């Protein structure tokens, strides 16, 4: 692997990635500001919000990972970013089930998160974000559901996974020389970057599960598929009940326990399958 690297030092890779991320943030901000109908201080149409969301996902998350891969690897940059098939088809289903069965556990983490005292500015930021999500998911006809799935589920899943799991997690694992430390740190940064503090713990946990799915499968497609499925379920549920955006569900303890057992079980399965796949490739 080092022979394929143009930039060997993990600290240099991190500096490059952060520089690219900062530049993309500036570029995304400029691109969103010049969108016709975009206003900071007054309400915008759902179409404008969706366009801004799409542009933000592509520029902010896609560009840093793209240029990081091109500048870091001497050949097959996208392969090393994670765009390769999983060694077994079961990894794709396992990743989806991993996130599906984690719903109760994430709900419990959300309840725990709500009990953490936070300054008023954080709460206000969260409320403003919830209002934006409500506007984003407005539906006037059935076609809006498919547009929402594309804008809120598929596009963010693709580009966030490229950025956080494909690029940043790789750097963190390389930096700390421990895959679980790298996965957890990336999950924390993934959640922090969303600036939704009352949902910090559930999103951090989601990031860790996605990171584990990518690590065990060796394929970014497993994380992208699971992330898109997870977001898609939420879009469909909110389309049926918009109030869910502002609600924190009360999850019974037995569902949390069952969720924990299932999540651990799927992770163990993926780890074993990962070991078997590597062993079969070395035979």
Domain assignment of residue 29, given as a range: 2-282
Q: What is the pLDDT of residue 246?
A: 62
Q: Alpha-carbon torsion 93, 95, 98, 103, what sign? A: negative
Q: Please, what's the b/e burial string for 207-227 (b: 16 or more CB within 10 A of its CB; e: otherwise)?
A: bbbbbbbbbbbbbbbbbbbbb
SS3 17: helix
- pLDDT confidence tier of residue 282, bands split at 50, 70 and 90: very low
Q: What percent of the chain has pLDDT over 90?
A: 61
Euclidean distance between CA atoms 157 and 155, whole angstroms: 5
Of 13 and 49, the one with more pLDDT: 13
Q: Please, what's the b/e burial string for 256-274 (b: 16 or more CB within 10 A of its CB; e: otherwise)?
A: beebeebbeebbebbeebb
Of 237 and 168, the one with more pLDDT: 168
Euclidean distance between CA atoms 158 and 126, whole angstroms: 24
Of 283 and 202, the one with more pLDDT: 202
Euclidean distance between CA atoms 68 and 4, whole angstroms: 14
SS3 44: coil
Total tally of structural domains belonging to the chain: 1
Average pLDDT of the chain, as a whole number:
87
Of 111 and 185, the one with more pLDDT: 185
Euclidean distance between CA atoms 184 and 188, whole angstroms: 6
How crowded is residue 36: how many other Cβ atoms within 10 Å of its Cβ?
A: 6
List pLDDT tens digits, range 80-104.
999 999 988 999 999 999 999 999 9
Of 41 and 213, the one with more pLDDT: 213
| Distances 4 to 24, 162, 200 between C-alpha atoms, Å | 26, 20, 36
Residues in the chain: 283
- pLDDT confidence tier of residue 2, bands split at 50, 70 and 90: low
> Which residues in 23-102 belong to E strands, given as ranges?
none
Q: What percent of the chain has pLDDT over 70?
A: 86
List pLDDT tens digits, range 131-177.
666 666 767 777 888 888 999 899 999 999 999 999 999 999 999 99
How crowded is residue 235: how many other Cβ atoms within 10 Å of its Cβ?
A: 21
Lowest mean pLDDT among 32-36, 254-258, 262-266, 270-274: 32-36
For 21, the token pair is 């991320």
Euclidean distance between CA atoms 24 and 8, whole angstroms: 23
């Amino acid at each position: 692997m080092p022979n394929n690297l143009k930039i060997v030092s993990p600290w240099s890779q991190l500096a490059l990635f952060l520089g690219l991320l900062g530049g993309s943030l500036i570029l995304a901000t400029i691109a969103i500001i010049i969108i016709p109908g975009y206003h900071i201080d007054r309400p915008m149409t759902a179409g404008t919000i969706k366009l801004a969301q799409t542009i933000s996902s592509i520029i902010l998350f896609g560009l840093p990972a793209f240029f990081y891969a091109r500048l870091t690897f001497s050949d097959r940059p996208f392969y090393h970013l994670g765009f390769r098939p999983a060694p077994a088809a079961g990894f794709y289903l396992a990743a989806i089930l991993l996130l599906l069965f984690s719903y109760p556990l994430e709900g419990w983490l959300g309840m725990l998160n709500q009990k953490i005292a936070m300054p008023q500015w954080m709460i206000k930021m969260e409320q403003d974000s919830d209002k934006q999500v409500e506007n984003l998911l407005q539906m006037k006809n059935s076609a809006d559901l498919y547009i929402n799935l594309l804008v809120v589920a598929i596009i963010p899943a693709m580009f966030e996974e490229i950025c956080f799991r494909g690029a940043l997690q790789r750097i963190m694992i390389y930096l700390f020389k421990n895959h679980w430390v790298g996965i957890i740190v990336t999950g924390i940064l993934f959640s922090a970057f969303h600036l939704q503090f009352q949902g910090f713990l559930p999103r951090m946990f989601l990031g860790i599960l996605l990171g584990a799915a990518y690590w065990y499968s060796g394929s970014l497609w497993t994380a992208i598929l699971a992330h898109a499925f997870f977001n898609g379920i939420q879009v469909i549920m909110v389309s049926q009940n918009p109030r869910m955006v502002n609600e924190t569900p009360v999850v019974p303890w037995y569902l949390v326990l069952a969720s924990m057992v299932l999540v651990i079980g799927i992770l163990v399965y993926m780890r074993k399958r990962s070991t078997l796949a590597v062993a079969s490739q070395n035979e």
